[in-house]
Amino acid sequence: MDFIDMLRAAERTNRSLLCVGLDPEPARFPGAWKGDPSRIYEFCAAIVDATQDLVIAFKPQIAYFAAYSAEAQLEKLMAHMRAVAPQVPVILDAKRGDIGSTAEQYAKEAFVRYGADAVTLSPFMGYDSVEPYLRHPGKGAILLCRTSNPGGSDLQNRRLADVDGQPRVYEHLASLAQGDWNRNGQLGLVVGATYPEEIARVRELAPTVPLLIPGVGAQGGDARATVQAGYRADANGITGLVIVNSSRAVLYASSGDDFAAAARQAALATRDELNAARGA
């Protein structure tokens, strides 16, 4: 199955819109593991085992592994997720953005080395920085569109005087992702949960692309407002999926030996809250 098909299957099987972000911080690990980067794989694998039947996707953030020279642990984790949760797509959160042969190498890193089903990208350098990823059949490319950080407004909210209607940058990007850029049908967009009105605007412009929405949980995004702004369904089924990410609220639900069980309870509560918001 391609990335979009995997998302839809995971949503049905696990009845979930929740994505668990895997952002391991050794300083926050439980008990004797605290401060020990060699435990990154074990910590993340325990979270995966505890939540794999509750999620629509997993999203490892590569920086949290690379900072501790833990790329080998990330490779091992990717293999573990394939073994225990083959039905759950894995989004490598890398936010790469480059052109030509460099982009080709980043695409190999994401899809060949790590075996990810999708990768997050910065589209600032234009379509030729995205196209190399689309050469990998069935793989997803999720473009930063309207991010939740305050500085996102510095560029994303600027109007384009040379485009009909003078859309904002993020609006123009949403239109491109729905249209001309989506040549393999596998594009998605990142839209922060802290801006539900702008999630709704992105959904209006890109009615069928999946939206990866970080910011629910520790970052303060409202789960109900997020789903109502971005999720779309009709009598024929889901027309616009949302992938609502929660990282710290799940990973660090407990600092004790019960961390995995606590993570499961946090994930279950968030999944149920998201389902209630869409009337499921």
Residues acting as catalytic residues: 95
Report how far apart, in Å, the C-alpha atoms of 121 and of each of 46, 94, 109, 203, 212 are: 28, 7, 13, 19, 12
Per-residue HEC secondary structure of 146-214 comes to ECCCHHHHHHHCCECCCCCCCCEHHHHHHHHHHCCCCCCCCEEEEECCCCHHHHHHHHHHCCCCCEEEC
User: Encoding tokens for residue 232?
Assistant: 């779309």
From 228, 247, 231, select the one nearest 239 (Cα to Cα): 231
Taking the C-alpha atoms of residue 254 and residue 219, their distance in angstroms, rounded to an integer, is 17
User: Encoding tokens for residue 279?
Assistant: 């009337």
| Bridge partners, residue 187, by sequence | 141
